[in-house]
Amino acid sequence: MVFRIWPRPAGQGMRAFAALFLLLAPGLLAGCVAIAPLGPPRFAQEMRPGLEAHPDALFGRLENGLRYVVLDNDLPKDHVSMRLVVLTGAVDEGEDERGYAHLLEHMPFRGTRTMSAQEVTHFLNANGMKLGPDANASTGPLTTQYILNLPKNDAESLSAAFAFLREVADGIALDPEDLEAEKKVVQSELRQRDTPGARASEELLDLIFPGTLYADRLPVGGSAESVGAARVETIRAFYDRTYRPEAMAVVVAGRVEPLAVAAAIEDAFGDLAARAPDPAERDLGRVPGEAGQVAIVADPALPTQVLLLTTGPAPPAPPSLAQERAEDILSLAHALLSRRIDEAARRPDAPIIAGSAGLDFHGDWARVQTLSARMPTGEWERGLAFLEQELRRALEHGFTRSELDEIVAERRSALARLEAIAQTYRTQSYASLMAGAVASGSVFRSIPQEVALGRATLDTIRLEEVDAALRAAWAGRDPAVFITGEVDIADPQAAVRAALTASRALPVAAPEERLAVAFAYDGFGPAGAVIEERVDETFGFQSLVFDNGVRANILKTPFEEGTVRVQIRIGSGRLSVPKDRPGLGQLGEYALLFGGLENQSFEELRRLLRQESVGLSFDIGVDGFVFRLSGRSGQLPFLLSLATAYVEKPGFHDEAWDYVRRSLSDSYTRLRRSPDAVFNAEVARIIRDGDPRFGVVPPEEVLGHDIAEVRDWLKPLLSSAYLEVAVVGDIDPDTARAALAGSLGAIGDRPARLPDLAEARDLRFPTGRAAITLTHEGDADKAIVAAYWPVSTPYSNELFATGELAAQLLERRARDRLRVEEGKTYGVDAASYISAVFDGYGWIRILANVDPSDIPAAIDALAGIAPRLEEEPLEEAEMVELREPLRAEGRRRREDNGQLVSLLSYAQAEPDRVATALSGSYALISRGQVMRFLETHVEGAEPLVIVVRPE
């Protein structure tokens, strides 16, 4: 189901996409998608009686077989999101065509039948789209998607977008010189994606699906050798064979008239025809049983992890309603088991750091069940025993009534929250779900339909069904075992068998019933009184000051129906971290939340948060301690009470400290195992002249503290510093005002302004310009080159916007050279940072991931970019192209409650900055301002070059 809110432990995603993220290491199986055999161009609801699709979506099919789905939706206002879904991918490549699907996906941006590469870029930018976030493409094992997110819905823009997608369908130019250049780019991308996690995913696929075409054709993209061997005639043959109208669908969501869009699709694609004979039917291969196979990936760059896996047949696609219900019950069983594993990981004596149970359906081809756990380096045997025993406990004793009741209550709360946002679901999310349904052969339903189906299952589910579903999937099976990390196992099969035999000899006790949990705090004293109030005449938010000095800003918006967001900013954040004890800042983020409350443990709070389906986070920002909360509108009093309890009565319990230390100790072991890890750990501190508050604090300066030190530093700041809160969403302002008065308005007095902290705000860019070289212990073919130029002009919103535009221009020029002309990198990234906190501190930088042999060329292209700026000065037409995507993004942010609540959380502390940010600045910036910015800070200055290369 597309929307169904079910327990989704690590490794599970929406069924429409069915992504296998089975390990805790990010990206280990990225790219695996649901299996939808190429067949007649029919929608899922046409293939099985009783399946009902979204009643407001327009489903259609052209005479040539191309399908389309159109949905009218108006959030963000006037935006339109399009997808061209092609039911072809890596499994459709012949033995000598490996990587062709992915290489072909790159080529439309090199030029089409009627558009050069420059004209493609102009079309995108002129219509408010930037290549990457707004215009992109992706290739999977079985599908390829082209994505356009337009910030406007006028007929001319829609017509141009359909014309471009039609050119993708049968008009990709495939110029020989462009193909040779793009082959180098793809090879660079393959090198960048060839990570320890990606290599482990290949081994895992071979373990799960040995001897199948599915495993053989992954990872998507082939190899550098196979891509390098591609020729125009061979890739055109693949293009003509696979890009067929009956294998395509156009998806459109946004503020559109569906019948008019259908007519436009007919005009654009009606004469599209097949250009080659029908391809042979896919044969993915048979999924064998697991039979106790063992696979080891011994790599110190990976965390130590253990997986247990079983496979089984999946129901035919699309599944019937009864089959969907059975799948949901099995998913619920794994969620219950995942909950047990996760809670056990947080106990002081736990042998693992984190873990979960997962379930994934690969269309009608295969079903995979997993248990996974991450443990301290090298301790795989303890982790394996833990998983075996928790699985056996569930199989022998089942789940308890209280466990099921609790998770059913959580699912009901989640469905209620989903139901609340039904009328304000965002266009881009709808388009992704619609495309996913087409790609996977599932039904695209409305939110009310999915909520009704979910509630029907919850109303009828029985504990015996859940226990039986888990036993059917695992009992009597000999699971496959997959182990990664810094492990040294001479005879893996024998060692794993011995560890499992020893574990199975130990008895497992039945679980105990759980007691219900309730929030431990019901009041914080007499409600506060409002002593000042005003309404912002421009943007409409209400600002209050309570008699205790707490400041509040309230904004009712139409952007998330039935939902409220809260953000609280307290004090000065990282500015308050002592420079001689920087580890306190890093520890504080973990210790506060995990430490629970004085009268309530974090485990109880986690159960409560899941039960209420609310979000809570805490982080130490550069200039504030920040709480973020979200939930249904009616939950606002609870959200504010929860935040107030953390502000006034944090627990800092010792059991949380053990978990924090174990987690951090493990993460520190891999800080030097990749160029990205080294860059993220070191560079933030380097470009701030060694300030210890930035970057990853060394382990000895973090783990040397205890929780009492963190408490003694953080608790007084939370309880006495300046406090400002924003409440944004579908709310009644008077109700919000009353809830604030009884919570944060009832606490002790707060100061009227933030302290100056002049010494803490003193931040400098390093004065030296000698290149800095860092080394990593990862793959020998990966390096990073970055060039930084300081910007010492004091902050203004105008300067911030100018810097953003200047960075976009630098990225274009560097990308043209390093990617388009020389093919030395897959991606170039530029960014500008103008600090509003550290007056006179800022920078603009360009970064590229390259092969170590290309470091000199990258340094020349990035650090020596000034001559290119002189040779290709910014023209007014290009200025429009740079500005439009940023303006479109600004408009989207002003209709995003997450962005609005963040801005309003300091609306009284920094009113001018907030007002300018809400109004937008990009339209006001001229070409001359951007050129002067670059002349001052880049063309007339020497950059600091930082290189991260292999040891």
- The enclosing H or E element of 790 equals strand 783-790
* pLDDT for 539: 87
> Which residue is associated with the tokens 């953003």?
804
Task: Say if residues 328 and 461 touch (Cβ distance below 8 Å).
Answer: no
- 82 close to 431: Cβ distance less than 8 angstroms: yes
| CA neighbor of 377 nearest in space, from 593, 583, 671, 603 | 671
3-state secondary structure of 691: coil
Burial bucket for residue 353 (CB in 10 Å: 0-12, 13-18, 19+): buried
Report the C-alpha gap between 815 and 830 in whole angstroms: 10
949 closest CA partner among 780, 696, 770, 771:
780
Nearest CA-CA partner of 444 in 426, 425, 431: 431
Q: Is the dihedral of CA 892, 895, 898, 904 positive or negative?
A: positive
Question: In this predicted structure, what is the pLDDT of residue 642?
Answer: 98
Q: Where are the alpha helices (DSSP H) in 755-910?
A: 797-815, 855-863, 866-871, 876-893, 897-904
Cβ pair 510, 389 in contact under 8 A: no
pLDDT at position 35, please?
38
Cβ-contact 481, 296 below 8 angstroms: no
d(CA 680, CA 682): 6
**3-state class (DSSP) for residue 654:** helix
Residues 568, 569, 574: CA angle, nearest 5 degrees: 140
Q: How far is CA 507 from the centre of its chain?
A: 41
Does residue 254 contact residue 79 with C-beta atoms inside 8 Å?
Answer: yes
Write down the pTM of the prediction.
0.89
* Cβ atoms of 590 and 712 closer than 8 Å: no
Answer whether 126's CB lies under 8 Å from 881's CB: yes
Per the CB < 8 A criterion, the answer to whether 806 and 934 are in contact is: yes
Rounded mean pLDDT for each run of 10 residues along the chain, 951 residues in total: 32 26 32 39 87 96 97 93 97 94 97 95 91 93 95 95 98 96 93 91 90 86 94 98 97 97 98 93 76 91 95 80 93 96 90 93 80 94 97 98 96 93 93 94 94 97 98 94 94 95 97 94 94 93 98 97 97 93 90 94 94 95 96 97 98 85 84 92 96 90 89 96 98 98 98 94 94 95 96 91 94 91 90 94 97 95 89 90 85 89 95 74 86 92 96 92
Query: Is residue 739 within a helix (H) or strand (E), and if so which, with residue range?
Result: helix 733-741
Sheet of 625-632, strands arranged across: 530-535, 542-546, 551-556, 723-729, 563-570, 625-632, 615-620
DSSP 885-951: HHHHHHHHHTT-HHHHHHHHTTTTTSHHHHHHHHH-SGGG--HHHHHHHHIIIIITSPPEEEEEEE-
Say if CB 938 and CB 844 are below 8 A apart: yes
- Do 180 and 278 contact (CB within 8 A), yes or no? no
Burial label, 530 (beta-carbon count in 10 A; 0-12, 13-18, 19+): middle
**DSSP state at residue 820:** I
pLDDT at 922: 74
Task: Supply φ then ψ for residue 776, to 5 degrees.
Answer: -125, 165
**What is the length of the chain?**
951
With 0-12 / 13-18 / 19 or more C-beta atoms within 10 angstroms meaning exposed / middle / buried, residue 401 is exposed
Half-sphere exposure of 245 (CA within 13 A, CB side): 17
**What's 107's DSSP letter?**
G
- With residue 556 as reference, give the H or E element that holds it: strand 551-556
- pLDDT at position 214: 82
Distance, CA of 531 to CA of 353 (rounded, Å): 49
Q: Could you write out the three-class secondary structure of 618-639?
A: EEECCCCEEEEEEEEHHHHHHH
**Helix and strand totals (H; E) in the chain:** 32, 23
Pair type for strands 783-790 and 58-61: unpaired
Report residue 551: phi and psi, to 5°. -110, 140
pLDDT value of position 20? 27
In terms of Cβ atoms closer than 10 Å to its own Cβ (0-12, 13-18, 19+), residue 149 is buried
* Residue tagged 């024998």 (tokens): 494
AA identity, residue 151: P
Domains and CATH numbers, the chain: 44-191+230-269 (3.30.830.10), 294-421+449-504 (3.30.830.10), 530-746 (3.30.830.10), 772-950 (3.30.830.10)
Query: What distance in Å separates the CA atoms of residue 330 and residue 466, rounded to the nearest whole number?
Result: 7
Cα–Cα distance for residue pair 135/147, rounded to 1 Å: 5
Where does residue 315 rank: exposed (0-12), middle (13-18), buried (19+ CB within 10 A)? Answer: middle
Residue 754 CB coordination number (10 Å): 18
pLDDT at 920: 66
The DSSP string of 416-479 is HHHHHTGGG--HHHHHHHHHHHHHHT-----HHHHHHHHHHHHHH--HHHHHHHHHHHHTT---
- Name 338's Cβ contacts closer than 8 Å, sequence gap at least 6: 7, 9, 10, 355, 356, 357, 358
State the pLDDT at residue 22: 30
What local confidence, expressed as pLDDT, does residue 678 receive? 95
